[in-house]
A and B are shown apart, each in its own frame.
Chain A
Amino acid sequence: MKKIREWFAGYLFILPIIIVVGVFVIYPIFASIYYSFTNYNPLRQMEYKNTFNLQDQLEQYLLIFSMKDLNTKDLLSQFDPADFIQTQLGIKLDKDQRAIIEKYFDSKRLMEDFVNLKTNKRMSGSQFMSEYMSKYKGMFSGYTPTWVGLKNFYQMMNDPLFWKTLWNSIFFSIIVTPIQTFIALLLAVAANQKIKGIKFFKLSFYIPSITSSAAISMLFMLLYAKPGIINRFLGFIGIPPVDWLSNTSTALPAVMAMNIWTTAGYFMIVFLAGLQNIPKDLIEASELDGATGWTRFWKIIIPLVKPQISYVVTLGLIGTLQVFDQIYFLIQNQQNYTTAMYIYVNAFNYNQMGYASAIAVFFLALIMALTLIQRKVIKEESYF
């Protein structure tokens, strides 16, 4: 009895986070996988849910200004159910649906109800269809995105911009991850020294990683501008000014440099922890044997922080492959987009939720595969 109570209490405690993660992370992942096989248009979500007063809608469609002296026969001849549903109620119909409506929609009863003032009530599109369709009511109960199978994936394979953005993401990741790992390790070794004022340096290395990316992006937009400071400094060594962020050849490398600057500090902390684990006597022994700092770095420190290196590289790869906010702020030309940005643009600017979901699903599979490969490779040398 006590055990069940303990379980119950335990689950109750973690229930909030389960709900939050379930609703905002797990459900969207499965929903995306489903939508990648459809041509989901989010603007059509409310199609069958919008409520209306049926009498008002009929009056407006048939352009009737007074409900007196109405003739059912005349109205029936003017009334096209499919057109009414599409234009007046805003519910889009495909060919099959239109054919079924032609056959099974009870226009006569609708017109009779209208003339007899029985339609003065509020209802939703799905209720309306259920009321006046003699058969196939289920077909009109709500907006279901059309299943298109693998069409989105075929479109993806044939989309040159998809491949360009995928390459941009991979390029971004392959260059930034090793550099940021190496610099993080260097910073950690530097910050590990017992000299005065080292705390200030630790802080200043770490601060970029906790500053808002929006603020940093604004800052770098000014630094990278054609009349900006970076070009001034380059001018001293004779390099002509470059519009780093507008020029499509330099935009991505510029953002990559900024990214390294912002995230190296974060991983420095991981390496600092790792450096604490290196036994002091090893260092002292190497000093006695006359090893220089550089040799110590390569022959002692690096082998002993291998677990941290693997962790930082894994996180680095995953993070850089998914980079979005800095691209969103600073990159204007679509040739320099990364995959995450391309997904966003397709979903929200072009209303192609199905296509965006397909790209997202592909990307999910890609990152999962890369992570699994990496775990297999590193496992052999794991010191955990």
Chain B
Amino acid sequence: MKSRVFLLVIGMISMLSIGLFAVTVVTLGGWVSSPVEQQAMESVVKAFNQRYAGQIELKYQPIPGNYLVKLTSELSAGTAPDIFYLDSSYAQQFIRSGAVYPLDYFVKKYNFPVSDFATSLLQPFEYDGHIYGFPKDFSTLALFYNKDIFDKYNVPYPTNNWTWQDLLSAAEKLNHPQDGIYALSLSPNALDRVMPFIFQNGGEVVNSQMQPELNTPQAIQAIQFYFDLHNKYHVAIQPSDVGAGWNGDAFGRGKVAMIMEGPWAYSFLKETYPQINFGMTVMPMEKTRATMIYTVCYAMSRSTPDKDAAWKAMEFLLTDGMKIFTEKLGVIPTRFSIQKSENVFENPADKVFVEQVGYGHAWFIPTSNGNSSKLLDNINSELYNIWQNKVTVEQAVDYITQNWNNWASQQ
């Protein structure tokens, strides 16, 4: 009996002492788009925990399923991870709601090198003179082409100087629906895929007062060219026409000669369709060059109890963590210093994406209150009407312009 009591006391003391030596726990959440990505993040977290053992423990808790919906519920309940991802297209929504913590103090206190990031990558995460997140990696769009299909129909490969006309002429020679080969697979209802063409033609989507500028001849010409590839010249299809889920899948099945996608497609093709012999080049140009920049940031939750510890974790994620993550996953680091050290300008997987950053436009639509989800859903739905030939480009642009402020104004 005495020994039992003794054991119980020892047990309780050891339990209590675990509590005494408790480390600060910081949780990191985000989405996971592939098992490779999950493993890459886990090695980053492991490295951090080794460095800060006994002081801070970083726990990796990715959020499965519909990220946007889950993150919103968790932030509303105060149970969100301390550090989470925010995509540039909807970051403002969260920043304006007050759920994201401003990082200026930590930047000053720990002398964080903000200038090591391109300003175009920081823009979507700034508001009212404060910075709310730092981009972890970025992608741009490039033109992928199937070398075997080009060889089959004796068409010279795309060059760095391709214009819209070059794209169209090549497409017309490559398009053989009777053989089951189409020239292009395009996204039929995505504003961000039409936007590069608008910029390439010297047009704008919104002006400095955040009002739409789609009703200009430059923008209309660009939108017309994009949808004419499907409606008029019949050289472009949408992925579901060949039973594929997205452009990369259609390309991987060998059904299309060209797609315009980002570095995620590169890893996807190498992993899932290694037999496809493809090349990549910069986006075609018209009056000027343009492409989209997609980026995601690490943001800090306002409900985080120990913000200093969370900052230390975030700083690690943006320095050594970024090195580990980008090397393992083949995505492009956002810091100039790491780009240099990883030689991204020589790496064939990264080169074509990084060299377009100079003329890339960050993927987000500025609105006066930060919300753009409803606006984008409505625009994309109307774009699909153009694809289905239910409305003309002018009609669609008029409709979008008239309803823009209505769709953009939410609480």
- A60 within 8 Å of B by Cβ? yes
Query: How many CB-defined contacts (below 8 Å) exist between A and B?
Result: 105
Q: Which of A42, A227, A332, A354 contacts B73 (CB 8 A)?
A: A42
| Residues of A with C-beta under 8 A to B66 | 348
Decide: B384 and A333 in contact? CB cutoff 8 A. yes
- A246 within 8 Å of B by Cβ? yes
Q: Which of B69, B108, B305, B374 contacts A348 (CB 8 A)?
A: B69
Cβ contacts A to B, 12 pairs, < 8 Å: A41-B97, A43-B72, A44-B97, A47-B98, A51-B305, A61-B105, A90-B99, A227-B243, A333-B384, A348-B73, A351-B373, A352-B374
- State whether A46 and B99 are in contact (beta carbons under 8 Å apart), knowing that A63-B105, A226-B243, A348-B72 are contacts in the complex: yes
- State whether A46 and B411 are in contact (beta carbons under 8 Å apart), knowing that A226-B242, A243-B240, A349-B69 are contacts in the complex: no
- State whether A46 and B303 are in contact (beta carbons under 8 Å apart), knowing that A226-B241, A247-B388, A349-B377 are contacts in the complex: yes
Specify which of B105, B377, B388 lies most central, judged by the most chain A CB atoms within 10 Å of its CB: B105
- How many B residues touch the partner, as a band? 35 or more
Within 8 A of A (CB), among B6-42: none
Given A63-B105, A351-B410, 15 more pairs with CB closer than 8 A: A41-B97, A42-B72, A44-B98, A45-B78, A46-B76, A50-B78, A61-B105, A225-B243, A245-B240, A247-B388, A248-B388, A334-B377, A350-B371, A350-B374, A350-B410
In this complex, how many residues of chain A approach chain B with their Cβ under 8 Å: the count is 44
Distance of A248 Cα from B411 Cα, bound (Å) = 30
Decide: A63 and B108 in contact? CB cutoff 8 A. yes
Decide: A43 and B76 in contact? CB cutoff 8 A. yes
CB distance from A354 to the nearest CB of B (A): 7
Summarize A's interface: helix, strand, loop or mixed.
Answer: loop
| Residues of B with C-beta under 8 A to A60 | 104-105
- A92 within 8 Å of B by Cβ? yes
Distance of A349 Cα from B374 Cα, bound (Å) = 8
- B128 within 8 Å of A by Cβ? yes
CB distance from A135 to the nearest CB of B (A): 25
Decide: B373 and A88 in contact? CB cutoff 8 A. no
- A178 within 8 Å of B by Cβ? no
| Residues of A with C-beta under 8 A to B377 | 334, 345, 349
Distance of A41 Cα from B96 Cα, bound (Å) = 12
Fill in one digit per residue for A28-48: 1 if any B CB lies within 8 Å of its CB, else 0: 000000000001011111110
Distance of A63 Cα from B107 Cα, bound (Å) = 11
Decide: B94 and A349 in contact? CB cutoff 8 A. no
Distance of A60 Cα from B130 Cα, bound (Å) = 12
Within 8 A of A (CB), among B370-408: 371, 373-374, 377-378, 381, 384-385, 388, 390
- A91 within 8 Å of B by Cβ? yes
CB distance from B388 to the nearest CB of A (A): 7
- B302 within 8 Å of A by Cβ? yes
Closest 9 CB pairs of A and B: A90-B98, A60-B105, A43-B97, A42-B76, A227-B243, A348-B69, A45-B76, A225-B243, A46-B78
Specify which of B72, B109, B242 lies most central, judged by the most chain A CB atoms within 10 Å of its CB: B72
Decide: B72 and A226 in contact? CB cutoff 8 A. no
| Residues of A with C-beta under 8 A to B73 | 42, 348
- A71 within 8 Å of B by Cβ? no
Residues of chain B touching chain A, judged by Cβ–Cβ distance below 8 Å, are: 66, 68-69, 72-73, 75-78, 93-94, 97-99, 101-102, 104-105, 108-109, 128, 130, 189, 238, 240-243, 302-303, 305, 307, 371, 373-374, 377-378, 381, 384-385, 388, 390, 410-411
Distance of A329 Cα from B130 Cα, bound (Å) = 39
List the A residue with the shortest CB-CB distance to B68: A349
- A65 within 8 Å of B by Cβ? yes
Decide: B240 and A351 in contact? CB cutoff 8 A. no
| Residues of A with C-beta under 8 A to B75 | 43, 46
- State whether A87 and B102 are in contact (beta carbons under 8 Å apart), knowing that A43-B76, A226-B241, A351-B93 are contacts in the complex: yes
Decide: A243 and B241 in contact? CB cutoff 8 A. yes
CB distance from A261 to the nearest CB of B (A): 21
Specify which of A49, A63, A226 lies most central, judged by the most chain B CB atoms within 10 Å of its CB: A226
| Residues of B with C-beta under 8 A to A335 | 381
- State whether A349 and B373 are in contact (beta carbons under 8 Å apart), knowing that A50-B302, A225-B240, A226-B241 are contacts in the complex: yes
Distance of A354 Cα from B411 Cα, bound (Å) = 9
CB distance from B380 to the nearest CB of A (A): 8
Distance of A354 Cα from B128 Cα, bound (Å) = 27
| Residues of A with C-beta under 8 A to B93 | 351
CB distance from B104 to the nearest CB of A (A): 8
| Residues of B with C-beta under 8 A to A59 | 105
- A228 within 8 Å of B by Cβ? yes
Q: Which of A225, A247, A332, A351 contacts B411 (CB 8 A)?
A: A351
